[in-house]
Structure 1
Protein backbone atom coordinates (compact mmCIF):
# COMPACT_ATOMS: atom_id res chain seq x y z
CA UNK A 1 0.00 0.00 0.00
CA UNK A 2 1.56 3.28 -1.06
CA UNK A 3 1.03 6.64 0.56
CA UNK A 4 -0.17 7.99 -2.77
CA UNK A 5 -3.22 5.73 -2.99
CA UNK A 6 -5.39 8.00 -0.82
CA UNK A 7 -3.13 11.04 -0.57
CA UNK A 8 -5.11 14.06 0.62
CA UNK A 9 -8.45 12.25 0.76
CA UNK A 10 -10.63 12.89 3.79
CA UNK A 11 -12.04 9.74 5.37
CA UNK A 12 -14.61 9.41 8.19
CA UNK A 13 -14.76 6.02 9.91
CA UNK A 14 -17.38 5.06 12.47
CA UNK A 15 -16.58 2.71 15.34
CA UNK A 16 -12.87 3.30 14.80
CA UNK A 17 -11.62 3.26 18.39
CA UNK A 18 -10.90 -0.46 18.38
CA UNK A 19 -10.92 -3.60 16.26
CA UNK A 20 -11.53 -3.46 12.53
CA UNK A 21 -12.39 0.25 12.60
CA UNK A 22 -9.10 1.16 14.25
CA UNK A 23 -7.22 -0.88 11.64
CA UNK A 24 -9.12 0.97 8.90
CA UNK A 25 -8.11 4.32 10.40
CA UNK A 26 -4.45 3.38 10.64
CA UNK A 27 -4.41 1.92 7.13
CA UNK A 28 -6.06 4.96 5.55
CA UNK A 29 -3.62 7.25 7.33
CA UNK A 30 -0.71 5.13 6.09
CA UNK A 31 -2.11 5.54 2.57
CA UNK A 32 -2.00 9.33 2.91
CA UNK A 33 -5.59 10.07 3.97
CA UNK A 34 -6.72 12.54 6.61
CA UNK A 35 -8.96 10.67 9.01
CA UNK A 36 -11.94 11.44 11.23
CA UNK A 37 -11.91 8.73 13.91
CA UNK A 38 -15.39 8.17 15.37
CA UNK A 39 -16.12 6.07 18.42
CA UNK A 40 -18.10 6.21 21.67
CA UNK A 41 -15.65 4.00 23.59
CA UNK A 42 -13.81 5.06 26.74
CA UNK A 43 -10.68 3.52 28.20
CA UNK A 44 -11.41 0.14 29.79
CA UNK A 45 -15.08 0.14 28.92
CA UNK A 46 -16.98 0.20 25.64
CA UNK A 47 -20.23 2.09 25.42
CA UNK A 48 -21.07 0.16 22.26
CA UNK A 49 -20.67 -3.47 23.36
CA UNK A 50 -21.31 -5.41 26.54
CA UNK A 51 -18.29 -7.68 26.93
CA UNK A 52 -16.08 -9.04 29.69
CA UNK A 53 -13.41 -6.63 30.85
CA UNK A 54 -10.68 -8.75 29.24
CA UNK A 55 -12.17 -8.10 25.81
CA UNK A 56 -12.61 -4.37 26.31
CA UNK A 57 -9.02 -3.47 25.50
CA UNK A 58 -8.22 0.21 25.96
CA UNK A 59 -9.00 2.17 22.86
CA UNK A 60 -10.53 5.58 22.31
CA UNK A 61 -10.72 7.74 19.21
CA UNK A 62 -8.22 10.09 20.83
CA UNK A 63 -5.71 7.25 21.22
CA UNK A 64 -6.09 6.29 17.57
CA UNK A 65 -5.67 9.91 16.53
CA UNK A 66 -2.49 10.15 18.60
CA UNK A 67 -1.07 7.02 16.95
CA UNK A 68 -1.76 8.48 13.52
CA UNK A 69 -0.19 11.81 14.41
CA UNK A 70 2.89 10.17 15.89
CA UNK A 71 3.34 8.38 12.57
CA UNK A 72 3.19 11.71 10.74
CA UNK A 73 -0.44 11.57 9.64
CA UNK A 74 -3.43 13.83 10.14
CA UNK A 75 -6.51 12.85 12.15
CA UNK A 76 -9.18 14.21 14.47
CA UNK A 77 -11.50 12.48 16.91
CA UNK A 78 -15.30 12.46 16.90
CA UNK A 79 -17.20 10.99 19.84
CA UNK A 80 -20.81 11.50 18.70
CA UNK A 81 -23.40 8.75 18.41
CA UNK A 82 -23.74 8.22 14.66
CA UNK A 83 -26.99 6.29 15.16
CA UNK A 84 -28.59 9.65 16.00
CA UNK A 85 -29.45 12.28 13.41
CA UNK A 86 -27.45 15.00 15.16
CA UNK A 87 -24.47 12.72 15.82
CA UNK A 88 -24.29 11.68 12.17
CA UNK A 89 -24.58 15.27 11.01
CA UNK A 90 -21.78 16.32 13.38
CA UNK A 91 -19.53 13.59 11.95
CA UNK A 92 -19.77 15.17 8.52
CA UNK A 93 -19.36 18.69 9.98
CA UNK A 94 -16.23 17.56 11.80
CA UNK A 95 -14.67 16.42 8.53
CA UNK A 96 -15.58 19.69 6.81
CA UNK A 97 -14.37 21.86 9.69
CA UNK A 98 -11.11 19.98 10.21
CA UNK A 99 -10.12 19.17 6.65
CA UNK A 100 -12.37 21.19 4.35
CA UNK A 101 -14.22 18.27 2.77
CA UNK A 102 -15.21 14.62 2.86
CA UNK A 103 -14.28 11.99 0.28
CA UNK A 104 -14.89 8.65 1.98
CA UNK A 105 -17.36 7.37 4.56
CA UNK A 106 -16.68 3.99 6.14
CA UNK A 107 -19.65 2.75 8.17
CA UNK A 108 -18.26 0.25 10.67
CA UNK A 109 -19.81 0.81 14.12
CA UNK A 110 -21.76 -2.10 15.56
CA UNK A 111 -22.85 -4.09 18.60
CA UNK A 112 -24.12 -7.58 19.40
CA UNK A 113 -27.01 -8.72 21.59
CA UNK A 114 -27.08 -12.40 20.68
CA UNK A 115 -30.11 -14.45 21.67
CA UNK A 116 -32.32 -17.14 20.17
CA UNK A 117 -35.51 -15.63 18.74
CA UNK A 118 -37.75 -17.22 21.36
CA UNK A 119 -35.72 -15.52 24.12
CA UNK A 120 -34.81 -12.19 22.53
CA UNK A 121 -36.14 -9.05 24.20
CA UNK A 122 -37.51 -5.98 22.50
CA UNK A 123 -34.61 -3.94 23.83
CA UNK A 124 -32.07 -6.41 22.38
CA UNK A 125 -33.75 -6.24 18.99
CA UNK A 126 -34.05 -2.47 18.97
CA UNK A 127 -30.48 -1.81 20.11
CA UNK A 128 -28.86 -3.90 17.38
CA UNK A 129 -31.10 -2.64 14.58
CA UNK A 130 -30.56 0.94 15.72
CA UNK A 131 -26.76 0.85 15.85
CA UNK A 132 -26.20 -1.17 12.69
CA UNK A 133 -28.99 -0.01 10.42
CA UNK A 134 -29.68 3.56 11.48
CA UNK A 135 -25.98 3.87 12.27
CA UNK A 136 -25.33 3.22 8.59
CA UNK A 137 -28.20 5.25 7.16
CA UNK A 138 -27.79 8.46 9.15
CA UNK A 139 -24.10 9.12 8.30
CA UNK A 140 -24.75 8.08 4.69
CA UNK A 141 -27.70 10.46 4.46
CA UNK A 142 -25.71 13.47 5.70
CA UNK A 143 -22.64 12.64 3.63
CA UNK A 144 -24.79 12.16 0.53
CA UNK A 145 -26.42 15.56 1.03
CA UNK A 146 -22.99 17.17 1.09
CA UNK A 147 -21.85 15.34 -2.04
CA UNK A 148 -25.06 16.20 -3.90
CA UNK A 149 -24.57 19.86 -3.06
CA UNK A 150 -20.99 19.69 -4.30
CA UNK A 151 -22.04 18.02 -7.55
CA UNK A 152 -24.84 20.53 -8.17
CA UNK A 153 -22.38 23.35 -7.59
CA UNK A 154 -20.25 21.98 -10.42
CA UNK A 155 -17.42 20.69 -8.25
CA UNK A 156 -15.96 17.30 -9.18
CA UNK A 157 -16.95 14.50 -6.78
CA UNK A 158 -15.14 11.17 -6.48
CA UNK A 159 -16.70 10.02 -3.22
CA UNK A 160 -16.80 6.54 -1.76
CA UNK A 161 -18.97 4.80 0.82
CA UNK A 162 -17.91 1.47 2.29
CA UNK A 163 -20.57 -0.20 4.42
CA UNK A 164 -20.10 -3.19 6.71
CA UNK A 165 -22.46 -6.13 6.40
CA UNK A 166 -21.58 -9.70 7.43
CA UNK A 167 -22.01 -13.33 6.53
CA UNK A 168 -24.91 -13.32 8.99
CA UNK A 169 -26.63 -10.70 6.87
CA UNK A 170 -25.99 -12.59 3.65
CA UNK A 171 -26.84 -16.12 4.81
CA UNK A 172 -28.39 -15.81 8.27
CA UNK A 173 -26.95 -16.89 11.60
CA UNK A 174 -28.59 -18.95 14.34
CA UNK A 175 -28.85 -16.99 17.58
CA UNK A 176 -28.30 -13.68 15.82
CA UNK A 177 -31.68 -12.86 14.34
CA UNK A 178 -31.43 -9.16 15.22
CA UNK A 179 -27.88 -8.84 13.90
CA UNK A 180 -28.61 -10.85 10.74
CA UNK A 181 -31.65 -8.73 9.91
CA UNK A 182 -29.75 -5.49 10.51
CA UNK A 183 -26.83 -6.63 8.35
CA UNK A 184 -29.18 -7.81 5.60
CA UNK A 185 -30.65 -4.31 5.72
CA UNK A 186 -27.16 -2.87 5.31
CA UNK A 187 -26.67 -4.99 2.19
CA UNK A 188 -29.96 -3.74 0.72
CA UNK A 189 -29.13 -0.15 1.68
CA UNK A 190 -25.83 -0.53 -0.18
CA UNK A 191 -27.63 -1.53 -3.39
CA UNK A 192 -30.15 1.31 -3.15
CA UNK A 193 -27.54 3.93 -2.32
CA UNK A 194 -25.31 2.81 -5.19
CA UNK A 195 -28.21 3.21 -7.61
CA UNK A 196 -29.28 6.60 -6.25
CA UNK A 197 -25.93 8.28 -5.67
CA UNK A 198 -24.02 7.31 -8.80
CA UNK A 199 -25.29 10.45 -10.57
CA UNK A 200 -23.41 12.56 -8.03
CA UNK A 201 -20.06 10.80 -8.42
CA UNK A 202 -20.48 8.52 -5.40
CA UNK A 203 -19.82 4.78 -5.34
CA UNK A 204 -21.24 2.59 -2.57
CA UNK A 205 -19.99 -0.88 -1.72
CA UNK A 206 -20.02 -3.17 1.31
CA UNK A 207 -17.70 -5.66 2.92
CA UNK A 208 -18.57 -8.81 4.87
CA UNK A 209 -15.44 -9.39 6.96
CA UNK A 210 -14.34 -12.38 9.03
CA UNK A 211 -11.98 -11.17 11.74
CA UNK A 212 -11.28 -11.56 15.44
CA UNK A 213 -12.71 -8.59 17.36
CA UNK A 214 -14.56 -7.89 20.59
CA UNK A 215 -17.78 -8.65 18.73
CA UNK A 216 -16.64 -12.04 17.42
CA UNK A 217 -14.43 -13.43 20.19
CA UNK A 218 -17.50 -14.81 21.97
CA UNK A 219 -19.88 -15.26 19.03
CA UNK A 220 -17.26 -16.93 16.78
CA UNK A 221 -14.49 -18.41 18.97
CA UNK A 222 -13.23 -20.42 16.00
CA UNK A 223 -11.65 -17.24 14.58
CA UNK A 224 -8.25 -18.00 16.08
CA UNK A 225 -4.78 -17.50 14.70
CA UNK A 226 -3.68 -20.20 12.25
CA UNK A 227 0.14 -20.26 12.30
CA UNK A 228 0.26 -22.80 9.51
CA UNK A 229 -0.93 -20.09 7.11
CA UNK A 230 2.15 -18.02 7.90
CA UNK A 231 0.17 -15.11 9.32
CA UNK A 232 -2.72 -14.39 11.67
CA UNK A 233 -5.61 -15.21 9.35
CA UNK A 234 -8.23 -13.46 11.44
CA UNK A 235 -6.31 -10.35 12.46
CA UNK A 236 -8.66 -7.39 11.88
CA UNK A 237 -5.95 -5.58 9.93
CA UNK A 238 -6.33 -8.09 7.10
CA UNK A 239 -9.67 -6.50 6.21
CA UNK A 240 -8.41 -2.95 5.81
CA UNK A 241 -6.43 -3.10 2.53
CA UNK A 242 -9.63 -3.82 0.58
CA UNK A 243 -11.44 -0.97 2.35
CA UNK A 244 -8.60 1.44 1.59
CA UNK A 245 -8.67 0.44 -2.08
CA UNK A 246 -12.44 0.84 -2.23
CA UNK A 247 -11.98 4.30 -0.72
CA UNK A 248 -9.45 5.35 -3.34
CA UNK A 249 -10.06 6.88 -6.74
CA UNK A 250 -8.77 3.64 -8.29
CA UNK A 251 -12.09 1.97 -7.42
CA UNK A 252 -14.12 4.22 -9.74
CA UNK A 253 -16.78 2.16 -11.51
CA UNK A 254 -17.00 -0.46 -8.77
CA UNK A 255 -20.33 0.13 -7.04
CA UNK A 256 -23.27 -1.79 -5.63
CA UNK A 257 -21.02 -4.74 -4.77
CA UNK A 258 -20.52 -6.78 -1.62
CA UNK A 259 -17.12 -8.31 -0.94
CA UNK A 260 -16.34 -11.04 1.56
CA UNK A 261 -12.85 -10.77 3.01
CA UNK A 262 -11.09 -13.23 5.30
CA UNK A 263 -7.35 -13.32 5.86
CA UNK A 264 -5.76 -13.15 2.43
CA UNK A 265 -8.95 -14.14 0.62
CA UNK A 266 -11.27 -11.70 -1.15
CA UNK A 267 -14.44 -12.90 -2.86
CA UNK A 268 -17.45 -11.29 -4.47
CA UNK A 269 -20.74 -12.21 -2.82
CA UNK A 270 -23.36 -13.31 -5.33
CA UNK A 271 -26.68 -12.19 -3.87
CA UNK A 272 -30.33 -12.66 -4.65
CA UNK A 273 -31.12 -13.12 -8.34
CA UNK A 274 -34.25 -13.96 -10.31
CA UNK A 275 -34.27 -17.74 -10.57
CA UNK A 276 -36.30 -20.37 -12.45
CA UNK A 277 -39.87 -19.32 -13.21
CA UNK A 278 -43.15 -20.71 -14.50
CA UNK A 279 -45.87 -18.40 -15.86
CA UNK A 280 -49.31 -19.95 -16.36
CA UNK A 281 -50.78 -16.76 -17.79
CA UNK A 282 -53.63 -16.60 -15.27
CA UNK A 283 -54.26 -16.78 -11.54
CA UNK A 284 -52.95 -19.98 -10.00
CA UNK A 285 -55.19 -22.47 -8.22
CA UNK A 286 -53.60 -23.52 -4.90
CA UNK A 287 -54.02 -27.20 -5.76
CA UNK A 288 -51.85 -26.75 -8.87
CA UNK A 289 -48.81 -25.31 -7.11
CA UNK A 290 -47.36 -28.38 -5.40
CA UNK A 291 -45.70 -29.95 -8.45
CA UNK A 292 -44.86 -26.52 -9.90
CA UNK A 293 -42.95 -25.46 -6.80
CA UNK A 294 -41.26 -28.87 -6.68
CA UNK A 295 -40.05 -28.40 -10.27
CA UNK A 296 -38.76 -24.89 -9.55
CA UNK A 297 -36.82 -26.10 -6.52
CA UNK A 298 -35.36 -28.89 -8.61
CA UNK A 299 -33.99 -26.38 -11.12
CA UNK A 300 -32.53 -23.99 -8.52
CA UNK A 301 -29.25 -24.23 -6.69
CA UNK A 302 -29.70 -25.23 -3.05
CA UNK A 303 -29.38 -22.34 -0.60
CA UNK A 304 -26.17 -21.85 1.36
CA UNK A 305 -26.53 -23.14 4.93
CA UNK A 306 -27.34 -20.69 7.69
CA UNK A 307 -24.37 -20.11 9.99
CA UNK A 308 -24.66 -22.28 13.09
CA UNK A 309 -27.38 -24.46 11.60
Structure 2
Protein backbone atom coordinates (compact mmCIF):
# COMPACT_ATOMS: atom_id res chain seq x y z
CA UNK A 1 0.00 0.00 0.00
CA UNK A 2 1.29 3.45 -0.92
CA UNK A 3 2.56 5.57 1.95
CA UNK A 4 0.63 8.71 2.81
CA UNK A 5 2.73 11.85 2.73
CA UNK A 6 3.04 14.10 5.71
CA UNK A 7 3.56 17.85 5.64
CA UNK A 8 7.24 17.28 4.82
CA UNK A 9 7.69 14.05 2.84
CA UNK A 10 10.71 11.90 3.65
CA UNK A 11 12.72 11.09 0.52
CA UNK A 12 15.70 8.74 0.48
CA UNK A 13 18.38 8.27 -2.17
CA UNK A 14 19.72 5.07 -3.70
CA UNK A 15 23.07 5.61 -5.39
CA UNK A 16 26.38 7.32 -4.70
CA UNK A 17 27.93 7.93 -8.13
CA UNK A 18 28.71 11.28 -9.78
CA UNK A 19 25.08 11.83 -10.86
CA UNK A 20 23.83 11.20 -7.31
CA UNK A 21 26.60 13.33 -5.81
CA UNK A 22 26.20 16.29 -8.19
CA UNK A 23 22.43 16.33 -8.79
CA UNK A 24 20.23 14.17 -6.60
CA UNK A 25 21.84 14.76 -3.22
CA UNK A 26 22.20 18.56 -3.54
CA UNK A 27 18.62 18.88 -4.78
CA UNK A 28 17.22 16.79 -1.93
CA UNK A 29 19.40 18.42 0.74
CA UNK A 30 18.46 21.90 -0.47
CA UNK A 31 14.74 21.31 -1.01
CA UNK A 32 12.75 23.18 1.66
CA UNK A 33 9.64 21.05 1.21
CA UNK A 34 11.10 17.60 1.86
CA UNK A 35 13.20 15.78 4.44
CA UNK A 36 16.26 14.05 2.98
CA UNK A 37 15.83 10.81 4.90
CA UNK A 38 19.05 9.01 4.01
CA UNK A 39 21.40 7.45 1.49
CA UNK A 40 22.01 3.84 0.51
CA UNK A 41 24.67 2.66 -1.92
CA UNK A 42 26.29 -0.53 -3.10
CA UNK A 43 29.51 0.80 -1.56
CA UNK A 44 28.79 1.57 2.12
CA UNK A 45 31.82 3.86 2.45
CA UNK A 46 30.58 6.01 -0.46
CA UNK A 47 27.10 6.16 1.06
CA UNK A 48 28.57 7.29 4.38
CA UNK A 49 30.62 10.03 2.70
CA UNK A 50 27.70 11.32 0.61
CA UNK A 51 25.34 11.26 3.59
CA UNK A 52 27.81 13.19 5.75
CA UNK A 53 28.28 15.80 3.03
CA UNK A 54 24.50 16.14 2.65
CA UNK A 55 23.51 16.36 6.30
CA UNK A 56 21.66 13.07 6.42
CA UNK A 57 22.40 9.47 7.48
CA UNK A 58 23.68 6.46 5.58
CA UNK A 59 21.93 3.10 5.54
CA UNK A 60 23.64 -0.22 4.98
CA UNK A 61 20.27 -1.99 4.74
CA UNK A 62 18.19 -0.71 1.83
CA UNK A 63 14.98 -2.05 3.36
CA UNK A 64 15.63 0.07 6.43
CA UNK A 65 15.86 3.12 4.17
CA UNK A 66 12.55 2.14 2.55
CA UNK A 67 10.99 1.91 6.01
CA UNK A 68 12.33 5.36 6.95
CA UNK A 69 11.13 7.02 3.72
CA UNK A 70 7.87 7.94 2.02
CA UNK A 71 9.59 8.03 -1.38
CA UNK A 72 12.96 7.22 -2.85
CA UNK A 73 15.01 8.68 -5.69
CA UNK A 74 17.15 6.25 -7.65
CA UNK A 75 20.51 7.17 -9.17
CA UNK A 76 21.66 3.71 -10.22
CA UNK A 77 22.53 2.06 -13.55
CA UNK A 78 19.26 1.31 -15.37
CA UNK A 79 19.24 -2.46 -15.00
CA UNK A 80 20.30 -2.16 -11.35
CA UNK A 81 17.70 0.56 -10.76
CA UNK A 82 14.77 -1.53 -11.99
CA UNK A 83 14.82 -4.32 -9.35
CA UNK A 84 15.33 -1.80 -6.54
CA UNK A 85 12.40 0.25 -7.84
CA UNK A 86 10.24 -2.87 -7.72
CA UNK A 87 11.30 -3.46 -4.10
CA UNK A 88 10.69 0.17 -3.16
CA UNK A 89 7.19 0.12 -4.65
CA UNK A 90 6.40 -3.11 -2.80
CA UNK A 91 7.44 -1.32 0.41
CA UNK A 92 4.93 1.45 -0.37
CA UNK A 93 7.52 4.05 -1.40
CA UNK A 94 6.78 6.44 -4.25
CA UNK A 95 9.62 6.33 -6.77
CA UNK A 96 11.60 9.00 -8.61
CA UNK A 97 13.39 7.07 -11.34
CA UNK A 98 16.26 8.04 -13.59
CA UNK A 99 16.19 7.60 -17.35
CA UNK A 100 16.16 5.08 -18.89
CA UNK A 101 14.06 3.07 -16.46
CA UNK A 102 15.76 -0.07 -17.81
CA UNK A 103 17.46 -1.21 -20.99
CA UNK A 104 15.20 -4.23 -21.47
CA UNK A 105 11.46 -4.14 -21.99
CA UNK A 106 10.94 -6.95 -19.49
CA UNK A 107 12.62 -5.04 -16.66
CA UNK A 108 10.88 -1.75 -17.50
CA UNK A 109 7.54 -3.58 -17.55
CA UNK A 110 8.26 -5.11 -14.15
CA UNK A 111 8.79 -1.63 -12.73
CA UNK A 112 5.57 -0.33 -14.27
CA UNK A 113 3.55 -3.28 -13.03
CA UNK A 114 5.02 -3.03 -9.53
CA UNK A 115 4.27 0.69 -9.30
CA UNK A 116 0.70 0.22 -10.49
CA UNK A 117 0.08 -2.81 -8.25
CA UNK A 118 1.29 -0.91 -5.17
CA UNK A 119 -0.58 2.28 -6.09
CA UNK A 120 2.52 4.41 -5.62
CA UNK A 121 3.34 7.50 -7.64
CA UNK A 122 6.22 7.46 -10.10
CA UNK A 123 8.18 10.05 -12.05
CA UNK A 124 11.03 9.45 -14.52
CA UNK A 125 13.60 12.23 -14.40
CA UNK A 126 14.07 13.38 -17.99
CA UNK A 127 15.92 16.67 -17.55
CA UNK A 128 14.24 18.52 -20.43
CA UNK A 129 10.78 17.77 -19.05
CA UNK A 130 11.58 19.43 -15.72
CA UNK A 131 14.11 22.20 -16.44
CA UNK A 132 11.97 25.34 -16.47
CA UNK A 133 12.89 26.81 -19.89
CA UNK A 134 12.54 23.53 -21.78
CA UNK A 135 9.49 22.30 -19.85
CA UNK A 136 7.67 25.53 -20.69
CA UNK A 137 8.76 25.31 -24.34
CA UNK A 138 7.54 21.71 -24.65
CA UNK A 139 4.15 22.68 -23.21
CA UNK A 140 3.88 25.63 -25.59
CA UNK A 141 4.74 23.58 -28.69
CA UNK A 142 2.37 20.78 -27.65
CA UNK A 143 -0.45 23.30 -27.30
CA UNK A 144 0.42 25.00 -30.61
CA UNK A 145 0.38 21.81 -32.70
CA UNK A 146 0.70 21.82 -36.48
CA UNK A 147 4.17 20.26 -36.49
CA UNK A 148 5.16 17.98 -39.35
CA UNK A 149 8.90 17.53 -38.81
CA UNK A 150 11.39 17.30 -35.98
CA UNK A 151 15.19 17.33 -36.25
CA UNK A 152 17.45 16.58 -33.31
CA UNK A 153 21.09 15.85 -32.73
CA UNK A 154 22.63 15.19 -29.33
CA UNK A 155 26.38 15.02 -29.80
CA UNK A 156 27.94 14.30 -26.43
CA UNK A 157 31.73 14.11 -26.04
CA UNK A 158 31.81 11.77 -23.03
CA UNK A 159 34.11 9.44 -24.98
CA UNK A 160 35.57 12.07 -27.28
CA UNK A 161 39.31 12.76 -27.45
CA UNK A 162 40.68 14.24 -24.25
CA UNK A 163 37.49 13.72 -22.22
CA UNK A 164 37.94 13.86 -18.45
CA UNK A 165 34.27 13.42 -17.55
CA UNK A 166 33.56 11.46 -14.39
CA UNK A 167 30.66 9.82 -16.22
CA UNK A 168 33.04 8.16 -18.69
CA UNK A 169 33.75 5.49 -16.08
CA UNK A 170 30.11 4.36 -16.18
CA UNK A 171 30.04 0.74 -17.47
CA UNK A 172 26.44 0.87 -18.67
CA UNK A 173 27.06 4.06 -20.69
CA UNK A 174 30.15 2.49 -22.23
CA UNK A 175 28.12 -0.58 -23.21
CA UNK A 176 24.90 1.11 -24.38
CA UNK A 177 26.19 4.45 -25.70
CA UNK A 178 24.33 7.56 -26.72
CA UNK A 179 21.25 5.72 -27.97
CA UNK A 180 20.33 4.81 -24.40
CA UNK A 181 21.93 7.69 -22.49
CA UNK A 182 20.76 10.72 -24.50
CA UNK A 183 18.07 9.07 -26.62
CA UNK A 184 15.56 9.32 -23.74
CA UNK A 185 16.07 13.10 -23.63
CA UNK A 186 15.12 13.48 -27.29
CA UNK A 187 12.14 11.12 -27.00
CA UNK A 188 10.93 12.95 -23.89
CA UNK A 189 10.44 16.01 -26.13
CA UNK A 190 9.20 14.33 -29.29
CA UNK A 191 6.51 12.13 -27.70
CA UNK A 192 4.40 14.86 -26.07
CA UNK A 193 4.75 17.23 -29.03
CA UNK A 194 4.52 14.89 -32.03
CA UNK A 195 2.74 11.89 -30.53
CA UNK A 196 3.72 8.28 -29.93
CA UNK A 197 6.24 6.61 -32.22
CA UNK A 198 4.57 4.23 -34.67
CA UNK A 199 7.63 3.22 -36.73
CA UNK A 200 11.40 3.32 -36.26
CA UNK A 201 14.27 3.16 -38.71
CA UNK A 202 17.81 3.15 -37.31
CA UNK A 203 21.34 2.94 -38.66
CA UNK A 204 24.67 2.85 -36.84
CA UNK A 205 27.32 5.50 -37.36
CA UNK A 206 30.89 5.93 -36.09
CA UNK A 207 31.65 4.56 -32.61
CA UNK A 208 28.39 4.59 -30.62
CA UNK A 209 26.54 6.94 -32.99
CA UNK A 210 23.00 6.07 -34.06
CA UNK A 211 20.82 7.78 -36.65
CA UNK A 212 17.06 7.41 -36.09
CA UNK A 213 14.09 8.21 -38.31
CA UNK A 214 10.77 8.11 -36.47
CA UNK A 215 7.16 8.17 -37.59
CA UNK A 216 4.65 9.59 -35.10
CA UNK A 217 0.96 9.03 -34.42
CA UNK A 218 0.23 12.63 -35.48
CA UNK A 219 1.58 11.87 -38.97
CA UNK A 220 4.74 13.86 -38.32
CA UNK A 221 8.21 12.44 -38.82
CA UNK A 222 11.40 13.18 -36.94
CA UNK A 223 15.09 12.40 -36.95
CA UNK A 224 17.66 12.05 -34.20
CA UNK A 225 21.41 11.60 -34.29
CA UNK A 226 22.74 10.39 -30.95
CA UNK A 227 26.29 9.85 -29.72
CA UNK A 228 28.61 10.14 -26.73
CA UNK A 229 31.74 10.05 -28.89
CA UNK A 230 31.80 13.42 -30.65
CA UNK A 231 34.97 15.52 -30.59
CA UNK A 232 34.61 18.17 -27.85
CA UNK A 233 34.70 20.90 -30.50
CA UNK A 234 31.59 19.41 -32.16
CA UNK A 235 29.59 18.67 -29.01
CA UNK A 236 26.08 20.09 -29.09
CA UNK A 237 22.49 19.29 -28.17
CA UNK A 238 19.81 20.80 -30.40
CA UNK A 239 16.23 20.06 -31.42
CA UNK A 240 14.06 21.94 -33.90
CA UNK A 241 10.42 21.62 -34.95
CA UNK A 242 8.93 22.70 -38.28
CA UNK A 243 5.23 23.27 -38.88
CA UNK A 244 2.43 25.61 -39.82
CA UNK A 245 3.73 28.19 -37.36
CA UNK A 246 7.24 28.12 -38.79
CA UNK A 247 10.31 26.86 -36.95
CA UNK A 248 10.75 26.46 -33.19
CA UNK A 249 14.10 25.69 -31.55
CA UNK A 250 14.51 24.08 -28.13
CA UNK A 251 15.94 26.71 -25.76
CA UNK A 252 19.02 26.29 -23.63
CA UNK A 253 18.48 25.03 -20.12
CA UNK A 254 20.37 25.46 -16.87
CA UNK A 255 21.84 22.95 -14.46
CA UNK A 256 20.24 19.66 -13.50
CA UNK A 257 19.84 20.39 -9.77
CA UNK A 258 16.93 22.79 -10.26
CA UNK A 259 15.33 20.44 -12.76
CA UNK A 260 15.59 17.56 -10.31
CA UNK A 261 13.99 19.67 -7.58
CA UNK A 262 11.07 20.24 -9.97
CA UNK A 263 10.84 16.47 -10.51
CA UNK A 264 10.67 16.02 -6.73
CA UNK A 265 7.76 18.49 -6.66
CA UNK A 266 6.05 16.55 -9.46
CA UNK A 267 6.39 13.27 -7.55
CA UNK A 268 5.00 14.80 -4.37
CA UNK A 269 2.04 16.27 -6.27
CA UNK A 270 1.30 12.93 -7.97
CA UNK A 271 1.49 11.13 -4.63
CA UNK A 272 -0.85 13.61 -2.92
CA UNK A 273 -3.42 13.84 -5.71
CA UNK A 274 -3.31 10.32 -7.09
CA UNK A 275 -3.07 11.79 -10.61
CA UNK A 276 -0.30 10.12 -12.64
CA UNK A 277 2.37 12.41 -14.00
CA UNK A 278 2.84 12.43 -17.79
CA UNK A 279 6.47 11.36 -17.27
CA UNK A 280 5.72 8.32 -15.11
CA UNK A 281 6.93 4.70 -15.13
CA UNK A 282 4.62 3.80 -18.02
CA UNK A 283 6.13 6.64 -20.05
CA UNK A 284 9.56 5.27 -19.13
CA UNK A 285 8.48 1.84 -20.35
CA UNK A 286 7.44 3.31 -23.69
CA UNK A 287 10.87 4.94 -24.10
CA UNK A 288 12.53 1.59 -23.42
CA UNK A 289 10.30 -0.09 -26.01
CA UNK A 290 11.19 2.48 -28.67
CA UNK A 291 14.93 2.37 -27.97
CA UNK A 292 14.91 -1.43 -27.93
CA UNK A 293 13.33 -1.45 -31.39
CA UNK A 294 15.81 1.18 -32.62
CA UNK A 295 18.71 -0.91 -31.33
CA UNK A 296 17.32 -4.02 -33.03
CA UNK A 297 16.89 -2.18 -36.34
CA UNK A 298 20.42 -0.77 -36.19
CA UNK A 299 21.93 -4.19 -35.52
CA UNK A 300 19.89 -5.94 -38.20
CA UNK A 301 20.65 -3.26 -40.78
Greater C-alpha radius of gyration: 1
Same fold, TM-score > 0.5, yes or no: no
Instruction: Report which structure shows greater RCO (CA 8 Å, sep ≥6).
Output: 2
TM-score, normalised via structure 1 length: 0.37
TM-score, normalised via structure 2 length: 0.38
The structure with the greater share of residues assigned to strand is 2
